Structure 1
Amino acid sequence: MVITGVGRGLGRALAQRWAERDEVWGTTRTGTTDLPLAGCLCIDLADEGSIVAGAAALRASVPGVDLLVNCAGVDARAFGAPEDPRGPFDVPAHMWKALFDVNVVGPMVFTRELLPLLRNGSQPLVVNVSSQLGSMQVAATKGRDTSYCVSKAALNMFSVKAAAELRPAGVGVVMLHPGWVQTDMGGRSAPLTIAESADAIVATVDALTLADSGRFIRWDGTDHPW
């Protein structure tokens, strides 16, 4: 399996758990990790060339991939946006574009480049880590981080379209809201610890099949409103 963003936070916690029983490859922007993984790819999700090169290295190393978890993601603060406000017109256009590169275009390119491996996998599944803020129903009443909300809504639409495209090949695609988690982005006031979210996600993903493709789910496996 392959997990992006294993350098910290939720991606790191998921990699730790799955590596206890499976062969796990991770990605970081430096290509290094102290986790006991099968390998770590140097990938910058904002750079298509970096993604293509990293995926090529993986294709040369493994015959197939059963699970791809696109976990890495950022909000506009990663590009210098203020803590608040981050309403519809507060974040400059270049930050919107940079955010979309990481949260939407990057996962699309990486998934595309790994399709040959996914098609060779056993019950292959792509899990795109989304957010409740990508929900039209929820984001309308929660927070003002508009650029992040829009990027996750776009990731959801990509996921729905990819699910329909890949189902005939037996590749599933789901969107997963990990909960409001105590990561660097989620903050310390979030109700879920990283460990709680990761434990639940592992159990949920383990139970998914192709029949679940196209679903938007929470960390506990329940359906999330669109």
Structure 2
Amino acid sequence: MSDAFFQPGRTYTDANGYTAPEITYYFHVEHVARHPEHGHLRATGWSKTGAMGSRWHGDSRVEGEQDGWTELPVPLIDVDPVVVRRFDCSIEPALEDEHPELMVCCVAEDGRPVALLLDMEARDKLAGLLDMGKGTGDGEPTPAAGIGDERALLLADHILNTGGTWTSGRAHRWLSEDAGIAVTARHVRRMLKSLAAYGYLTEHDKPGRVSYTPRYATGGGR
């Protein structure tokens, strides 16, 4: 989702410094969704004018209508952040697509499903937060920004959807042979440990054998 379009939790205005308050509009965005058939984005939220006593009313804008709107430094409506926990992840439309998007599927505290749709810039930021796109200082080259994160999350997506017990050998074979991704066995071991550390997998460390199983949200087991 591009920052060029309206973003949830933000307030926008069409004021240019010369318009009168009664014809100045404010648009606060609650949700942004993509049309399931036509593919365009639609922002839904609340609008009002700058006239004294003006009240908020439901409103929406579609892709192409964002021109002329400017984001306010501070939203006019207080936004309570939605606290979520990760449940699944997916790369859409496909890893080899020119502009793939990472979708992190989550569950809110009240059970509502939440999908975090991340574009390239946001995915790279996530890679930095998870420390999956950086070298570890043990001699292996540092992956390009975002690439390590993409490989690890692709692996997590496959394990979460496939289920079962996974060793580093099984994960390495799937990445190399089925996904066609060149990666060393040592890096796969680090990927699995990182995915376990950040809640995607559960690590089972037994003498002579380390394995992993998917960690699903309550009620989300396969």
**Aligning the two structures, in what range does the TM-score lie when normalised by the shorter sequence?**
under 0.3
Greater RCO, CA 8 A, separation 6+: 1
Please identify which structure carries the higher helix content: 1
Please identify which structure carries the higher strand content: 2
